[in-house]
Structure 1
Amino acid sequence: MSRLGAISRKDRAGRTIAATASSVYGALLNREALESWLPPDGMRGRIERWEPHSGGGFRMVLTYLDPAEGPGKTSDATDVVDVEFAELVPGVRVVQRAVFEADDPAYAGTMTLTWDLVDAGEGTDVTVTATDVPPGIDRAAHEAGIASSLAHLAAYLEAGPSLR
């Protein structure tokens, strides 16, 4: 239960990535990596604050490449999100608490994103589960966005030995 007794919504996406769990974990805690792969299709990201430790976090500005694709949660062309690293288990899990900067109460509240990493032999199964998703975020678009970020993460890690 969350927000005024409503049932917590969960959005989820997963992908097997041809990289070690430690490489995936490293890409979740590397500023330049996150700016590169985390923004979903149609967006670019810039990190303004960076504290890569448990209890730390980051502030990211996501900008729509085509403002007509918006509107954003923070402005017509942007989503600004403050993310806390709630739990860091090297090579296993990263738990983030995300709060969007928005005037619209449909985007209010803290969404939790859990990145689970499981060895899959030749790679790592990465599952992202978002709980307490604000009701203003469309489920299909959100899950497509998570899947897009996972595809970018796979391309980032599978392109070369940068974090392996």
Structure 2
Amino acid sequence: MDGHVHSFDPREGGEFRISLTYRDPRNDSPGGEGGKTADDADTHRGRFVALVPHEKIVETIEFETTDQRFAGEMRIIVSLEETDGKTTVTYRCENIPQGIRPEDNEAGNRSSLRNLAELVE
């Protein structure tokens, strides 16, 4: 998968737009169904609702798609908690579009957390 950040304003009320392109859409995309925006890509735009240093990030995102299964605003809450000198990161997603299977959403979040761990360890 390749990512492209079109815009990114990391402050409360700031907006962002990101595209993820799958090298092999049938095998790389969650659920193996390809992308939501195009056959091989997911593009979404969002807004930072809350940024509380060392505690939490709240953002909303919407996929750029004409497919109503993926329409609507999803809210993502990322909580950070220090435990034994380490940081525990927890994702909670609300209003997940009906076209996204819960297990695919969970797999995507786990992948993001693994990538974050590799980056900071």
TM > 0.5 fold call: yes
Corresponding position of 2:68: 105
Matched residues in 2 for 1:92 and 1:98: separation? 20
> Which one-letter code corresponds to 2:91 in the other structure?
V
If asked which structure has higher relative contact order (CA below 8 Å, sep 6+), I would say: 1
Matched residues in 1 for 2:79 and 2:25: separation? 32
Aligned alpha-carbon RMSD (Å): 0.9
Corresponding position of 2:9: 51
| Greater strand fraction, Structure 1 or Structure 2 | 2
TM-score (norm 2): 0.92
Matched residues in 2 for 1:79 and 1:113: separation? 17
Cα deviation, residue 65, structure 1? 1.7
2:86 to 123, 130, 140: 123
Matched residues in 1 for 2:16 and 2:42: separation? 14
Matched residues in 2 for 1:44 and 1:133: separation? 23
> Which one-letter code corresponds to 1:86 in the other structure?
V
Q: Secondary structure at the match of 1:124?
A: strand
1:89 to 40, 43, 52: 52
> Which one-letter code corresponds to 1:61 in the other structure?
S
> Which one-letter code corresponds to 1:63 in the other structure?
T
What percent identity do the matched residue pairs reach?
Answer: 38
- Cα deviation, 1:54-103, whole Å, max 9, x if unaligned, reads 10121000111213334210000000010100001011000010000011
> Which one-letter code corresponds to 1:119 in the other structure?
E
TM-score (norm 1): 0.68
Corresponding position of 1:5: none
Structure 2: stretches of 5+ with no match in the other structure? 28-32
Structure 1: stretches of 5+ with no match in the other structure? 1-42, 159-164
The alignment status of 1:79 with 2:37, answered yes or no, reads no
- Cα deviation, 1:14-34, whole Å, max 9, x if unaligned, reads xxxxxxxxxxxxxxxxxxxxx
Matched residues in 1 for 2:11 and 2:96: separation? 24
Cα deviation, residue 52, structure 1? 1.1
Find runs of 4+ consecutive structure 1 residues off by over 2 angstroms: 67-70
